[in-house]
Chains A and B, each alone.
Chain A
Amino acid sequence: RKEVEQDPGPFNVPEGATVAFNCTYSNSASQSFFWYRQDCRKEPKLLMSVYSSGNEDGRFTAQLNRASQYISLLIRDSKLSDSATYLCVVNKRTDSGGYQKVTFGIGTKLQVIP
């Protein structure tokens, strides 16, 4: 089983739609969680951190469910400019305590259609 799993999509949604992505992680010791956005042939950029209580940033809402080991990203009122690949990222401290292990999911591709 992969450490971080995402549905690669693509998700094709009309403008104005609400779309949700899920990501599951296998290591219960994982400590911090992020969503990144990656545009075609560009570097990944941090979209938002994911907190245990859930957090919102404008049209974007992130949720964490530690019991079920998944995180989610909800995008409301989709815009054409939201078209990108969304990467789920999980951090954990290594057993030795000296390294922050960062694991990326393969990403979910979103295409917002006019």
Chain B
Amino acid sequence: NAGVTQTPKFRILKIGQSMTLQCTQDMNHNYMYWYRQDPGMGLKLIYYSVGAGITDKGEVPNGYNVSRSTTEDFPLRLELAAPSQTSVYFCASSAPDRRYNSPLHFGNGTRLTVT
């Protein structure tokens, strides 16, 4: 099993450009998440999905969009990149059981710089 795979690992964007961060998981997990982590700061939830066709906003969704057409894939779209979106982006997945006692599995992250 590959687990959670994110691409690309690194990317530099110019202000106003757009890009899609890819995330795929092969564990058949229903729940998927996108987080961003700024230097020296904690993880902030951007968007999450509880299953194919269902997405919802986290605490910092502005400037981002997501889709979940399959269980495996959860791409994050940046439209009109801004310097404030310079960060490390982590995708994660989980398979909550009935007691919601399920840890998250993270991808390796995408390091994005917007200049």
Contacts and interface: CB of A to CB of B under 8 A. Distances in A.
A21 to B, nearest CB: 15
- Chain B's interface size range is 20 to 34
B88 A100 contact: no
Interface string A23-66: 00000000110101000011111100100000000000000000
Contacts of B99: 31-32
A31 B101 contact: yes
Interface of A is mostly: strand
B90 interface: yes
B103 A41 contact: no
Interface stretch (B17-25, B41-49, B62-70, B76-84): B41-49
Interface of B: 31, 33, 41-43, 45, 48, 50, 56, 88, 90, 94, 96, 99-109, 111
14 contacts: A31-B100, A32-B101, A32-B102, A36-B103, A41-B109, A46-B104, A49-B103, A87-B43, A91-B96, A91-B102, A100-B31, A100-B96, A102-B104, A106-B42
Q: Which 4 A-B pairs rank lowest in CB-CB distance, beginning with the nearest?
A: A43-B106, A106-B42, A32-B101, A100-B96
